[in-house]
């Protein structure tokens, strides 16, 4: 039972390069989320997708774009990476909150360094 | 904007001792989540608190929610080394909504020593 799978697990980029972080869930969840975690800052929401076909900005969306490819997959793209985007990125998924008491389930994270 | 404050941010305690972690939030919410994160690992759900007065217990951890005070506590009883981790509380950003956005506290890094 894989849950939430993120790829890659580690990545080093140079400033200005682009890349896409992939996330897939096999729990038939409607909602998916991208967070970043910085030391001492907790998790901050970048973008989320409440259901297939919709995406919305979170707390810190600048410099990122997302695509909800289908119900299972939600990708995060950095078009022109900056050192300030060095962070650990977590993808999460959940059943639609208003319809369930279940918490969000998190992937193992992608550790991204931008030089 | 919803603010979620945890304290303490760092907690070093001896095995066998008791302690409480506090989570305050700034706007009305009817639910709260507690997560645990081991170093370099993902977040694991500990408790889902769904109403005022809710209390959940698992092992040496007990969580409670007071929605009127906008306060949740995570109480540790007779700490053991295996409880060493970072603990986060999280509050929904949109009460009554199905959007599911969460605001997280900064986390409490707990170290239990012999």
What is the per-residue pLDDT for B110? 96
Has residue B70 got a pLDDT over 70?
yes
- From B42, B44, B100, residue closest to A97, measured CB to CB: B100
What is the per-residue pLDDT for A37? 96
What is the per-residue pLDDT for A41? 83
Residues of chain A short of pLDDT 50, as ranges, are none
8-state DSSP, A73: B
**pLDDT tens digits along B28-45:** 888 899 999 999 999 999
CB proximity A103 to B under 8 Å:
yes
Average pLDDT taken over every residue of chain B: 92
Asked if A107 and B42 come within 8 Å (Cβ–Cβ), the reply is yes
Query: Which whole number is the average pLDDT over B54-60?
Result: 95
Has residue B62 got a pLDDT over 60?
yes
User: Cβ contacts of residue A110 below 8 Å, gap of 6+?
Assistant: A6, A7, A8, A9, A10, A11, A21, A88, A89, A90
Residues of chain A with Cβ-Cβ distance to B92 below 8 Å are: 97
What is the per-residue pLDDT for B99? 59
Minimum Cα–Cα distance from B89: chain A residue: A42
Q: Answer for the pair B89, B104: CB distance below 8 angstroms, yes or no.
A: yes
Has residue B16 got a pLDDT over 90?
yes
Q: Answer for the pair B79, B112: CB distance below 8 angstroms, yes or no.
A: yes
Residue scoring higher pLDDT (A108 or B97): A108
Length of chain B equals: 114
Token pair for B100: 């599911």
Has residue B20 got a pLDDT over 90?
yes
What is the per-residue pLDDT for A39? 86
């Amino acid at each position: 039972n894989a849950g939430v799978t993120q790829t890659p697990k580690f990545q080093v980029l140079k400033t200005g390069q682009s890349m896409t972080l992939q996330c897939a869930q096999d729990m038939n969840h409607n909602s998916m989320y991208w967070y970043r975690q910085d030391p001492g800052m907790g998790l901050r929401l970048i973008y989320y997708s409440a259901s297939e076909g919709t995406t919305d900005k979170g707390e810190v969306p600048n410099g990122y774009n997302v695509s909800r490819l289908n119900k299972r997959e939600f990708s995060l793209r950095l078009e022109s990476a900056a050192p300030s985007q060095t962070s650990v990125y977590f993808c999460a998924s959940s059943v639609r909150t208003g319809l369930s008491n279940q918490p969000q389930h998190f992937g193992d994270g992608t550790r991204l360094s931008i030089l | 904007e919803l603010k979620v404050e945890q304290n303490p941010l760092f907690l070093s305690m001896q095995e066998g001792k008791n302690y409480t972690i506090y989570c305050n939030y700034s706007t009305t919410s009817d639910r709260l989540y507690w997560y645990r994160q081991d170093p370099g690992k993902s977040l694991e759900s500990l408790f889902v608190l769904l109403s005022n007065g809710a209390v959940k217990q698992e092992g040496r951890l007990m969580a409670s929610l007071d929605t009127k005070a906008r306060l949740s506590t995570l109480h540790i009883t007779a700490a053991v080394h295996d409880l060493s981790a970072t603990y986060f509380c999280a509050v929904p950003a949109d009460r009554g909504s199905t959007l599911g956005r969460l605001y997280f506290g900064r986390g409490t890094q707990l170290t239990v020593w012999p």
